[in-house]
Structure 1
Amino acid sequence: MSMIVSVDLGGTKAQVARVDEQGVYDARRYSVPATATKSQVNDFITGIVAEQLTGQCCGIAIGVPGMVDLSSGTVLETVNIPAWQDVPLAAQLNAYFSLPVVVNNDVNCFTMGEYCYGHHYLSGTGLHTPVPNLLGVCLGTGLGAGLVFDGRLYSGRHCAAGEFGSFPYRDGILEHYTSGQFFLKRGTNGAEQALLAQQGDRYAQSLFDEFGSHLGYALAQTLLAFDPDKIVLGGSVSQSYDLFERAMWQSLARQTHPALFKRLEIAVGTLEHAALRGAYKLFQQQLSEGI
């Protein structure tokens, strides 16, 4: 089976590995130079790809935290890497490495990985029937979602489908209240507060309760827009799910029709390297379709 270099670029961290249908090899993690110039970010990406490339690799797939013109592989906008806008990323990497390149949104890659390899089944069927409609939601530096409808990823023309973190909310946008930015605005970070909450700190737990309430509101909007069979959470903040789960469900119950709420399933994704594997699957699909 063909092997590619797969990249999961986030607002603060990047993961890179060689991937084929059987698994992920030599995965490495890097800090993203989010405040660097456009050319410096380009050089960073080229460098981490070059470190992984071997003669076995037949292509490159990269998920980026923002909007993408899928037809050209151009990164249109990245909210959390300010200087890195309007980047013809596929063309640049193709020219440098002489290999086919596929560019997509990072949360789309996560969702595709969970859908294809994460074993998500319809409950109550008695059979291992894959869920046809899956919503992947990543709670990290920002907030974004990927949508699989009837077994196929739906991105929209510019990978803007699912970018509900940019919806107006209170004095800003949803991701200010439903991602790591929620904690940063309070002068702290989610990992630090999670440790304190687990030790019984009431203020830390109150932050996660507030976070869960905001997230419940955000997810209620996605239910009305997409009506998925299941929601899978990813991203660093999702690892503290037990701390905000109750408040999230309470918020959802207040704002969701009982018929939707009754059958709703939400789980934290457990598939290792989901975004890297999803990028691999999108590479295979797009090349088979001649895109």
Structure 2
Amino acid sequence: MRQESTSSAYAASAVSGAGELLQLLRDETPRTRAELAKLTGLARSTVGARVDALLATGLLAPSGEAVSTGGRPPVRFAFNPEARVVVGADIGATHGRVALTDLSGRPICEIGESLDITDGPEVVLDWLVATTRRLLKQAGRQPRELIGIGIGVPGPVEHSSGRPMRPPIMPGWDGYDVPRHLQRDFDVPVLVDNDVNIMALGEHAMAHPGVEHLLFVKVATGIGAGIISGGRLHRGAVGAAGDLGHVAAPHAPEVLCSCGNIGCLEAVASGPAISKSLKEIGILAESNADIVELVRGGNIPAALAIRQAGRTIGEVLATCVSLLNPSVIVIGGSLVQAGESLIAGVREVVYGRSLPLATGVLQIVPATTGVQAGVIGAATMVIQHSLTADRVDLAIARQSAS
């Protein structure tokens, strides 16, 4: 009896480390049990128990056979990103984009539509619920296969609760319990963050996974930044880190900002600010898309205006470079589609004003994930939350108990 109890305790201990083994396998490289035992230094029986536990969840799957050294070839196993699905939602001021992704953050299918954030949380989140159901049906997946929903919104968020906090362009959203609204329909974790933070996560995961220190800057209707330091997203004490748009721009005219202050970067260098400056000289550009079209069409005043916006942004980023010392600054948002004008203005000032030590290896590059940055980042946020070693162990324990 005592021997049986000891054996059971050993088996439970072995399986409880399955989540840690999964972290090693998330690079999707197929490995045999023997290779895993060598890499981890664990006994082959322990590795075998953990592999079996992960196979039972579907998070691990057979992936071919290794070369035999005599006898039956050993089976290789690899992380199975298709075992579950994630919803990533990028909610902007005038658009909503939702993607169903696998556990690597790769979109399976997605839907993008126009919407108005000022319609309020009930309307927008009901749309998100309906869109999630459409995507699950389109992909042939069941709601039980969903492990979580990630959402980015265009305003400050208390990440721990998922509640927007006094967002300037989101009337009716202040303090609204976004996770609770979604969990009426889906019994899964719901994580909410500022839209720029999730774009930073998406760009980092897909385009710069090996970069430890990265600054993502979104230039569109608003201006904001997402900070990756030491390979991790930094939100600050209350989630307000990276609020670049409301930093006072050096040499800026005394323009009133939506936040109530004067001369904020967003008030003088965002899309609406550029539209206003063009209107003053008789050029009509009512949207960011209009500005992009003008620049691409060779309109010189529009190109000069967006280049000057880049310089103004560069003046603020030069300070950020001195404080944070990133190795990569990624410029994203709709205005980057205008071409090199915006980034050229940023580079001109940052490289000219920052110390050579800080800019020696600094790259200032356009975003590569485009409109998918937000949905990929929102999904990545959920994946990072759900696939930690502890949470995988807990999921295995619950499955075993059921």
Tell me which residue corresponds to 2:335.
237
The one of 176, 187, 198 equivalent to 1:98 is 187
1:48 is matched with 131
Cα distance change of structure 1 residues 184 and 82 upon mapping to structure 2, 3 Å threshold: farther
Letter in structure 2 aligned against 1:138: K
Aligned counterpart, 1:82: 171
How far does the alpha carbon of each residue in 1:31-52 deviate from its partner, in whole angstroms, 9 at most, with x for none? 1213324433343333333333
Q: Residues 106-117 of structure 1: matches in 2 within 5 Å?
A: 106-117=195-206
Q: Tell me which of 142, 153, 160 is aligned to 2:233.
A: 153
Counterpart contact for 2:100–2:108, Cα < 8 Å: yes
Which of structures 1 and 2 has the bigger CA Rg? 2
In the alignment, the residues of structure 2 paired with residue 3 and residue 253 of structure 1 have an alpha-carbon distance, to the nearest angstrom, of: 42
**What secondary structure does 1:212 align onto?**
helix
SS at match of 1:200: coil
Contact 1:241 1:268 in 2 (8 A): no
- Counterpart CA distance in 2 for 1:75 and 1:47 is 21
Over the aligned positions, Cα root-mean-square deviation in angstroms equals 2.2
Q: How far apart, CA to CA, are the structure 2 residues paired with 1:192 and 1:264? A: 31
The one-character-per-residue Cα deviations of 1:222-264 (angstroms, maximum 9, x if unpaired) are 2123211111111111122412333322222443223323332
Native 8 Å contact 1:229 1:264 kept in 2: yes
Structure 2 residue aligned with 1:31: 114
Gaps of 5+ in 2: 1-80, 255-262, 280-284, 392-402
Residues 92, 154 of structure 2: 8 Å contact kept: yes
Higher helix proportion, which one?
2
Conservation of the 8 A alpha-carbon contact between 1:113 and 1:278? yes
Larger fraction in strand:
1
TM-score (norm 1): 0.87
Kept after mapping to 1: 8 A contact 2:99/2:111: yes
Aligned partners of 1:12 and 1:34 also within 8 Å: yes
Shift of residue 4, structure 1, vs aligned partner: 1.3
Identity of matched residues, %: 30
**Kept in 1: contact 2:347–2:364 (CA 8 A):** no
Deviations 1:45-72 (A, max 9, x none): 3333333344132321111122222222
CA distance in 1, matches of 2:270, 2:332: 11
Is the contact made by 2:332 and 2:367 (CA closer than 8 Å) also made in structure 1? yes
Number of the residue aligned with 2:399: none
Mapped partners of 2:297, 2:160: distance in 1: 50
- Counterpart of 2:377 in structure 1 is 278
Q: 1:50 to 1:75 in 2, by over 3 A?
A: farther
Q: CA contact under 8 A between 1:134 and 1:228: conserved in structure 2?
A: yes
Distance change >3 Å, CA 72–CA 238, structure 1 → 2: same
Within 5 Å, give how 1:61-210 maps onto structure 2: 61-119=150-208, 130-169=210-249, 170=252, 171=254, 172-186=263-277, 187=279, 188=285, 189-210=287-308
3-state secondary structure, aligned to 2:184: helix
Indicate conservation of the 8 Å contact 1:69/1:157, yes or no.
no
Higher normalized contact order (CA 8 Å, seq sep 6+, divided by chain length): 1
**Distance in 2, Cα, partners of 1:250 & 1:285:** 36
Change (3 A) 1:205 1:281: closer
Report the CA distance shift for 1:284/1:52 in structure 2 as closer, same or farther (over 3 A). same
Q: TM-score, normalised by structure 2?
A: 0.64
* SS of residue in 1 equivalent to 2:326: coil
Question: Which residue does the alignment assign to 1:18?
Answer: 100
